[in-house]
Amino acid sequence: MAWVYLIIAGLLEVAWTFGLKHSQGFTVLWPSIITIILIVASFVVLAKVMQVIEVGTAYAIFTGMGTAGTVILGIAMGESADPLKLLFIGILIIGIIGLKLVSGEKSDDSGGRSGGGSKAAVAAGTGKERN
């Protein structure tokens, strides 16, 4: 379910990016208010996602989706669709998919104890997990 929320956070990022344009530097009231709400919502969802998905992976996918989505939506709204732009967006999307394929969710092996670490590491007295 965390991955679904990560997609939602990425879509919210695309929405607030376009909101920034329409707010005209936060000088137009309603687009500014909507943009601020979307920014807060995207970061709240991202923060929840980071409780389950590794921070580096979650943030990279979040920003990558925002970047790719913003460019794709911009093209759909009339911005240039330069072949090199499309190539690099394709590479970015491949990178996002690759991160998803090699990433897992963080596991809580602490058995409900605070302080973290795996059961084996805690039993060994180190309190730290070895990879």
pLDDT (0 to 100) of residue 116: 43
- Tracing tokens 């679904």 back to the chain, one arrives at 4
Q: How does pLDDT run across 50-69, given as a tens digit for each residue?
A: 999 999 999 999 999 999 99
What is the rounded average pLDDT for all residues in the chain? Answer: 85
pTM: 0.77
Q: Name the residue ranges covered by the structural domains of the chain.
A: 2-106
Position 121 confidence tier, pLDDT thresholds 50, 70, 90: very low
Asked whether residue 90 carries a pLDDT value surpassing 80, the answer given is yes
- Non-local (6+) Cβ contacts of 70 within 8 A are 13, 14, 17, 18
Going by C-alpha positions, the residue among 66, 46, 45, 68 that lies closest to residue 58 is 46
